[in-house]
Amino acid sequence: GESVGLHLPTLSVQEGDNSIINCAYSNSASDYFIWYKQESGKGPQFIIDIRSNMDKRQGQRVTVLLNKTVKHLSLQIAATQPGDSAVYFCAENVRGGGTSYGKLTFGQGTILTVHP
Amino acid sequence: DGGITQSPKYLFRKEGQNVTLSCEQNLNHDAMYWYRQDPGQGLRLIYYSQIVNDFQKGDIAEGYSVSREKKESFPLTVTSAQKNPTAFYLCASSIAAGDYEQYFGPGTRLTVT
């Protein structure tokens, strides 16, 4: 999963497998979380979000799980396809720092490679 | 076709020159953001604007400046004071600041030699 540091975590899967990408977030007061997908040389694309009053949220082929007890977020991709190959970032909305609305703080990212 | 545009996609400058990166959105979003991304790293917040004529420093504002004279536009100037300006710059917007999805532009890759 993601953590502070210089080495980007990687995950390699076979086409059709399910993928699970993990993220450890830093602030217990964070109340909103997002997963983004970024392809090489492009801007991040929104995948799914979840608020802290939920434990699970499902989208099309994706599920986000939130465990507030251990400050852990995961993204599950069902039936992974070669087009899912990208860097995946989690982001948390951290309140405080003099603002009432907080701002997104991004993790380092996980490289997902899907082999045909 | 709504979205965020950044131009140019690639930009080259000599050291010591200021350079301005363009960001325009037609999503009618109040909040806009500038991030910097270095190889193998996540996004770091440079500046953000909650509303027109307002902007706040992010985590790495030194050597950068912004303006927000129009709702649609949030240009970023990389000044000669920025020690390591070569990076991939991403602009984003959201309906409001805080816990809302941010929509990203395609990015500008700036190379300073």
Sheet holding A19-24, edge to edge: A19-24, A72-77, A62-67, A56-58
Q: How confident is the model at residue A98 (pLDDT cuts 50, 70, 90)?
A: low
pLDDT for residue A23 is more than 80: yes
Asked if B7 is an interface residue toward chain A (Cβ–Cβ < 8 A), one would say no
Average pLDDT on A23-41 reads: 90
B1-39: pLDDT as tens digits:
569 999 999 999 999 999 999 999 999 999 999 999 998
pLDDT in the model for residue A3 = 39
Q: How confident is the model at residue B40 (pLDDT cuts 50, 70, 90)?
A: confident
User: What is the number of residues in chain A?
Assistant: 116
Report d(CA B43, CA A83) in Å as an integer: 22
Cβ-based contacts of A102 with chain B (< 8 Å)? 98-99
pLDDT in the model for residue A94 = 75
Q: How confident is the model at residue A33 (pLDDT cuts 50, 70, 90)?
A: very high
Share of chain A above pLDDT 90, in %: 69
Average pLDDT on A51-72 reads: 95
pLDDT in the model for residue A102 = 63
Nearest CA distance, B66 vs chain A (angstrom)? 18
**Phi/psi at A83 (5° precision):** -70, -10
Nearest CA distance, A17 vs chain B (angstrom)? 25
